[in-house]
Amino acid sequence: MAHILISDDSAAMRQMVTYTLSSASHEVTQAINGAQALELAKQGEFDLVITDVNMPLLDGLSLVRELRALPSYRFKPILLLTTETDPEKKQIARTAGATGWVRKPFDPDKLLAAIRKVLG
């Protein structure tokens, strides 16, 4: 299974995502914001990054841009998990390099289906 980095400033959301992914046999590393996620990504290799959009220090869209600038993350899947529904934000996310978009509150089966899809 995959080693997945999740970045969200909500502890409850990190717990729910971790539970969902762990119960599907994925290994999960948590970051409390985009800045911490970027540092973890530079230190280790993750198969997938899942990030919230609205976070302190480094928001999700900036995190996507920073990750895409790293050779090891140029082609890794990055999913945004967010309450954002603005189509313009979705386009900005695609332009930044996001692979996909999952709405909060998330359905565990839909999240796992999106992960299966991007991991191939």
Distance between CA atoms of 117 and 39, rounded to whole angstroms?
26
* pTM to 2 decimal places: 0.96
Q: Model confidence over 25-65: pLDDT tens digits?
A: 999 999 999 999 999 999 999 999 999 999 999 999 999 99
Could you tell me if 80 and 59 are in contact, meaning their C-beta atoms sit under 8 angstroms apart?
no
Fold type of domain 3-110: Rossmann fold (3.40.50)
Distance between CA atoms of 120 and 91, rounded to whole angstroms?
23
Could you tell me if 13 and 52 are in contact, meaning their C-beta atoms sit under 8 angstroms apart?
yes
Q: Model confidence over 79-118: pLDDT tens digits?
A: 999 888 888 988 999 999 999 999 999 999 999 999 999 9
